Amino acid sequence: MIPTFELFGKTFGIYPVLALVGIFTAGIYARRQARKKGLDENDMIMVLLVSAVGVLLGGHLLYGLVNVLSAPGSAPNLLASDSPKAFFENAYILFGGSVFYGGLLGGIFAGALYVRKKGFALPEWADLLAPAIPLFHFFGRIGCFLGGCCYGVPCSFGFTYTHNLIEQANGVSRFPIQLVEAAFNLALFFLLWTLQKKGKFQGKRLVLYLLCYSVGRFVFEFGRGDTYRGIWFGLSTSQYISVGLFLVAVVFLLYQRFTGRATQKL
């Protein structure tokens, strides 16, 4: 659609711009929620910054892992690089992209470590940050649609790319799976925000997000037209991760439910 645009004589990619919009929107939301809860806004900023580092590292690392697993013969071998320049060129090819699930898990892990280290209440901070994740992701998927990545399967109704940087996506009417996922993330944000305002599902909202998103992502993957994310036995890398997160979320919620009841009985 609009992979790049010109502004003040410079060329900008549409996806990075919308991703930044998502980051700032989610960050502003998280800061306001922290203030309403009487927490230090500076602490929230630090949690967000640390989480952002985890997002960057996790997203790129999982992208590289998917490259190696899905195409082990064609993935660049960093150890075989014969010069520093070749090493960095191969590293860019191997880790140059990003996978959302890697960023999600990396961000959660980094943020949780920081919150624990500072002695904050992890469930409270996880509750505050949970709605910010789908809010950011909403803008990211709009960027995917306009930029042409994460394109959908061929479909008789949809949108046809003509200037996509991914050549195989051009010239074919494709189902706008990115817009469907964007709408899903926006609905998920409002669900978690409503639960937060009503004080419900305390200490479990991040797990609820993982439960809902894993189900949605598993379904959405069938509408994706690209295969570079790794396909094994008819399922993509993200679908296997979705199954794992769904099971972890269910086990956690069941554990909380039954241990909570047991504690009340005692």
Sign of CA dihedral 58, 61, 67, 70: negative
**Among 179, 134, 139, 103, which residue's Cα sits nearest to residue 22?**
139
pLDDT at residue 5 tops 90: no
Alpha-carbon span 90 to 76, nearest angstrom: 6
> Can you spell out the DSSP letters for 179-193?
HHHHHHHHHHHHHHH
Q: Which is higher by pLDDT, 79 or 152?
A: 152
Question: Could you tell me the CA-to-CA distances from 149 to 28, 212, 230 in Å, in that order?
Answer: 27, 23, 15
Indicate if the pLDDT at residue 265 is higher than 60.
no
Three-class secondary structure of residue 158 per DSSP: strand
CA atoms within 13 A on the CB side of 127: 19
Phi, psi of 6 (to 5 degrees): -100, 135
Q: Token digits for 230?
A: 């790794």
β-partners of residue 236 are 231
What is the pTM for the complete model shown?
0.88
| Residues ≥6 apart with Cβ < 8 Å to 249 | 207, 208, 210, 211, 214
Rg of the chain taking only CA atoms, in angstroms: 20
For residue 72, name the pLDDT band (cuts at 50, 70, 90). low
- pLDDT single digits (tens) 111-152: 999 999 999 999 999 999 999 999 999 999 999 888 878 888
How is residue 48 written in tokens? 């967000």
Mean pLDDT, residues 74-96: 72
Q: 257 a known binding residue? A: no
Q: Which has more pLDDT, 1 or 50?
A: 50
**263: pLDDT strictly greater than 50:** no
How many secondary structure helices (H) and strands (E) does the chain include? 9, 6
Joined together, the tokens standing for residue 218 give 């598993």
Q: Dihedrals φ, ψ of 10, to 5°?
A: -120, 150
Q: What is the largest CA-CA distance in the chain?
A: 70
Among 155-159, 160-164, 257-261, which is the least confidently predicted range?
Answer: 257-261
